[in-house]
Amino acid sequence: MTGEASFLEIGVPNGRRTRDFYQALFGWNFHEMGGDNVWIETPTVRAGVHPNDDDATIVVYFRVADIDAAVERVRELGGAAGEPGPEDRGFGRFVECRDNQGVRFGLHQPPAG
């Protein structure tokens, strides 16, 4: 459904500590992607852990059907948006944005099918 949270991106200094914390707290399942990079399977959304990130934060990505049109709309409304990335196999397309007050969020177009 458009506008629902569909992906979380967790940027942290240490991926292993993050994994241990959220696994113990919520029982989330983690899937290795190489190095300290993992994707997380929660009961409702997927998430990614990105280690070596000095700006420790969680960014919420909201589902959209057409990421290019949604980026255009963000900009029309006074927000800012990067250029959407290519299809990330199995995950879809993503772009980071800021609303008209500078708050970070993301848009996510899930993979077709």
pLDDT value of residue 113? 66
End-to-end C-alpha distance for the chain, whole angstroms: 14
Q: 1-63 and 64-113 share one CATH topology? A: yes
Instruction: Give the residue carrying structure tokens 């989330």.
Output: 28
Q: At the topology level of CATH, where does 1-63 sit?
A: 2,3-Dihydroxybiphenyl 1,2-Dioxygenase; domain 1 (3.10.180)
**CA 47 to CA 57: how far, in whole Å?**
13
The residue count of the chain comes to 113
Please state, in angstroms and rounded to a whole number, the distance separating the CA atoms of residues 64 and 42: 20
Question: Cβ(60)–Cβ(38) under 8 Å?
Answer: no
Question: How do the pLDDT tens digits run along the chain, 113 residues long?
Answer: 789 999 999 999 988 888 899 999 999 988 988 777 889 988 888 999 988 888 789 999 999 999 999 999 999 999 999 999 899 888 999 999 999 999 999 999 999 86
Residues forming beta bridges with residue 57, ordered by sequence position = 11
Q: Where are the domains of the chain?
A: 1-63, 64-113
Q: What is the pTM of this model?
A: 0.86
CATH topology of domain 64-113: 2,3-Dihydroxybiphenyl 1,2-Dioxygenase; domain 1 (3.10.180)
